[in-house]
Amino acid sequence: MIKKKKVNKRKGNNLTIHFMPYSEISKEDTIGRIKKIMGIILDNKIIILQGKLRPEEEVRLIENSMTLIGNIAGFQGIEIAGISGDNENRGLFDNIRRNIARILIGEQDAITIIGPASVVKEITRDPKKIELMLQKK
């Protein structure tokens, strides 16, 4: 019989936010990035990531979360939202410069918030702001 793992519970009203600079994941492959993120999430911490994941990494993260629901007690999935300067109207030159920078140093001019759904009730995003609502204890 498989012994079910448990998500670490929040102690009292403590809330831990883990700031993850892009350099922490820049050299990892998709599996490494997801492993790192999930490790922090299962510790019931909220991640503020400098930069953003690639679409295929986001979808793998969702897939991974779905596999864990029901197998790890108390884990209900994740909440995730990202914000970047993508929607800003830039000139052609600015866009070219930005794309070259992306290729060289990765997508760093974005912020992604990822949290366990047992802690984060909802993350709402409007074009230029993110609101984070926590679960009631």
Least CB distance to other proteins at residue 42 (A)? 14
Residue 11: name the closest of 48, 41, 45 by CA.
Answer: 45
* Owner of token pair 């939202």: 81
**63 within 8 A of 34, measured Cβ to Cβ:** no
Least CB distance to other proteins at residue 113 (A)? 10
CB nearer to other proteins: give 28 or 58.
Answer: 58
CB nearer to other proteins: give 23 or 71.
Answer: 71
Cα–Cα distance for residue pair 16/30, rounded to 1 Å: 25
List C-alpha distances in Å: 65 to 61, 89, 114: 6, 35, 12
Least CB distance to other proteins at residue 63 (A)? 5
Residues that bind other proteins (CB under 8 A): 54-56, 58-59, 62-63, 65-67, 69-70, 76-82, 87, 117, 123-127
Cα–Cα distance for residue pair 14/54, rounded to 1 Å: 31
Cα–Cα distance for residue pair 64/89, rounded to 1 Å: 35
CB nearer to other proteins: give 23 or 53.
Answer: 53
Least CB distance to other proteins at residue 64 (A)? 10
Least CB distance to other proteins at residue 92 (A)? 16
DSSP state of 44: T
CB nearer to other proteins: give 50 or 79.
Answer: 79
CB nearer to other proteins: give 88 or 94.
Answer: 88
